[in-house]
Chains A and B, each alone.
Chain A
């Protein structure tokens, strides 16, 4: 269990994380989703006690990470896989880790096998490919057999086999009842692995719901319509249960009804239309729209993302 409460981090003028509150529950893969620079890594670093929050706090298994005497037995984490001393062998890197937390040295060979590092473990990290560094980081994360795991963009730079391996690993860890938080900037990736999604943009929480709910919310068809009497039409459409967003002086975007229905309603209300079209929106587009304009939405909302495009008369 990870509890994030009002977590905020400011670097000079940059508000990297802005009053984030969410929980990560055991037994599920929770996707931590947001575009580049959204604050995912910063949040994870604060959870791990590496960066000091400007305000707010994060608890792991009910305690601040820095209070743990043997953190590797409670929490395993993969952050930047490049952040290791390149002069050591993979095995010495893991031996040092085991020493710090009183993990028996034989466990080092177990996780080397588990992560599929094999004989590369005896070579210097300097010569590792990105995929091997990633595996080394995962080996270190699994070293203490922890109940909580954090992975920051674990599939970055991996080939298809590697990606499949990570997905299966995440699933297995969650099925064993562990708490798994995995970040990504790709919705399509998270769609495959995550049971729940915590979506952030510009440091703020945009959505926190099951993956299914979020996908349903994002996937709904929308209709674009232009008319000189936009206010009048918006009122009509809303009366018929559609969600309406004002996108221009004479332009509306309508959710929850088809282009035909909008046309008929306009006709019945005698509102002349100058344009009527269905807006094709891929999931990725929708997600980008959602996170790209995230700063307009109030923080702390926990509704599925679909409702984030509410009425703006």
Chain B
């Protein structure tokens, strides 16, 4: 071949693990933004979040009750909108398995724990940042649309944005972990919807204690408690605990599968 790549590039030369991780992270960043799906999910999340903000703002504009914080709107809108970001994170993982792209991926990054770390950190950081920005935009839109009915107190804003960040970060980690574990977009999507939406909603409807107890330890109940604050029997601690435990468990199982299994089984 014509041009040598860089001067001292012995094939076996060692590169600090941190640099390998940074490179893999940069590659994951490029991977994420060079597929259209990412942009579509981002657009849809923005529409839902800001759209609900605008509608809620317009509705409260006619209300007499003065001074309610616009942040509540952003928090409530996060409940449906988070799913679009979760799917964004999920397809960042499963897309490669569905298309066979995992073969070149692992060829280029054969250290699987490095790939796992980069492929977890980048999508989770991206969705969390987007969630904070979109929640901010949603509250701002509601505030503008309702002027001068709603307030926008800074202290409460920080609290709501931190909560949204926590919920979306944990939810995305769960989605990423399930993506690594199940390797199929449909399968992981069904699991996420069951755990985050369907089961937390339906289990408490049955007249048994154990279904109610089970519902309380699901990540969706934790998210609902933190965002909406209307889940009987839950506390701040149990909600955060449920979210983090599920996220951590899914990531652990996902890492085990990626580290041990053949590339494209």
Q: Which residues of A contact B (CB under 8 A)?
A: 45, 48-52, 61-63, 65-66, 68-75, 77, 79-80, 82-89, 92-93, 95-97, 99-104, 107, 110, 114, 140, 142, 144-148, 173, 176
Bound CA span A110–B108, Å: 19
B235 is an interface residue with CB less than 8 A from chain A: no
- Chain B interface, number of residues (Cβ within 8 angstroms): 44
Q: Is the CB of B23 within 8 A of A102?
A: yes
Bound CA span A295–B245, Å: 52
Q: Is the CB of B100 within 8 A of A83?
A: yes
Number of A-B contacts (CB under 8 A): 133
Bound CA span A73–B26, Å: 18
Partner of A68, one of B31, B100, B110, B260: B110
Contact with A along B78-105 (1 / 0, CB 8 A): 0000000000000000011001111110
Q: Shortest CB–CB separation between residue A204 and chain B, in angstroms?
A: 21
Q: Known: A84-B101, A84-B104. Is A100-B12 also a contact (CB below 8 A)?
A: no
Q: Shortest CB–CB separation between residue A169 and chain B, in angstroms?
A: 10
Interface residues of B in 214-265 (CB under 8 A from A): 260-264
Q: Shortest CB–CB separation between residue A310 and chain B, in angstroms?
A: 37
Bound CA span A62–B12, Å: 9
Q: Is the CB of A87 within 8 A of B263?
A: no
Q: Known: A84-B101, A86-B99, A104-B6. Is A50-B11 also a contact (CB below 8 A)?
A: no
- Chain B CB count within 10 A is highest, among A62, A68, A70, A84, for A70
Q: Shortest CB–CB separation between residue B8 and chain A, in angstroms?
A: 11
Q: Which residues of A contact B95 (CB under 8 A)?
A: 85, 87
Q: Known: A87-B37, A101-B23. Is A71-B107 also a contact (CB below 8 A)?
A: yes
B3 is an interface residue with CB less than 8 A from chain A: yes
B211 is an interface residue with CB less than 8 A from chain A: no
New contact pairs (4) apart from A99-B26, A100-B109, A176-B1, CB-CB < 8 Å? A82-B100, A88-B35, A97-B27, A97-B104
Q: Is the CB of B20 within 8 A of A69?
A: yes
Q: Known: A45-B263, A103-B5, A110-B2. Is A96-B99 also a contact (CB below 8 A)?
A: no
Bound CA span A52–B264, Å: 11
Q: Shortest CB–CB separation between residue B94 and chain A, in angstroms?
A: 11
Q: Which residues of A contact B24 (CB under 8 A)?
A: 100
Residue of B nearest to A48 (CB): B107
Q: Which residues of B contact A87 (CB under 8 A)?
A: 34-37, 95
Q: Is the CB of B13 within 8 A of A69?
A: yes
B209 is an interface residue with CB less than 8 A from chain A: no
Q: Which residues of B contact A66 (CB under 8 A)?
A: 110-112
Q: Which residues of B contact A (CB under 8 A)?
A: 1-6, 9, 11-15, 19-20, 23-24, 26-27, 30-31, 34-37, 95-96, 99-104, 106-112, 260-264
Q: Shortest CB–CB separation between residue B110 and chain A, in angstroms?
A: 4
Please name the 9 residue pairs, one residue from A and one from B, whose CB atoms are nearest each other, closest first.
A83-B100, A74-B11, A50-B263, A99-B27, A92-B34, A69-B15, A85-B101, A66-B110, A100-B108
Q: Which residues of B contact A63 (CB under 8 A)?
A: 12
Q: Which residues of A contact B20 (CB under 8 A)?
A: 69
Partner of B5, one of A73, A88, A173: A73
Q: Is the CB of A102 within 8 A of B35?
A: no
Bound CA span A137–B264, Å: 18
Q: Which residues of B contact A89 (CB under 8 A)?
A: 34
Q: Is the CB of B101 within 8 A of A83?
A: yes
Partner of A74, one of B2, B12, B36, B260: B12
- Chain B CB count within 10 A is highest, among A85, A103, A173, for A85
Q: Which residues of B contact A69 (CB under 8 A)?
A: 13-15, 20, 111
Q: Which residues of A contact B260 (CB under 8 A)?
A: 52
Q: Which residues of A contact B263 (CB under 8 A)?
A: 45, 50-51
Residue of A nearest to B36 (CB): A87
Q: Is the CB of A146 within 8 A of B3?
A: no
Bound CA span A290–B264, Å: 31
Q: Is the CB of A99 within 8 A of B23?
A: yes
Q: Shortest CB–CB separation between residue A160 and chain B, in angstroms?
A: 24
26 A-B residue pairs with CB within 8 Å: A50-B106, A50-B107, A50-B262, A51-B263, A52-B261, A66-B110, A68-B110, A69-B14, A70-B9, A70-B11, A72-B107, A72-B108, A84-B99, A85-B31, A86-B99, A87-B35, A87-B95, A88-B34, A89-B34, A95-B34, A96-B27, A96-B34, A99-B27, A145-B3, A145-B9, A147-B11
Bound CA span A63–B12, Å: 8
Q: Which residues of A contact B3 (CB under 8 A)?
A: 107, 110, 145
Q: Shortest CB–CB separation between residue B9 and chain A, in angstroms?
A: 5
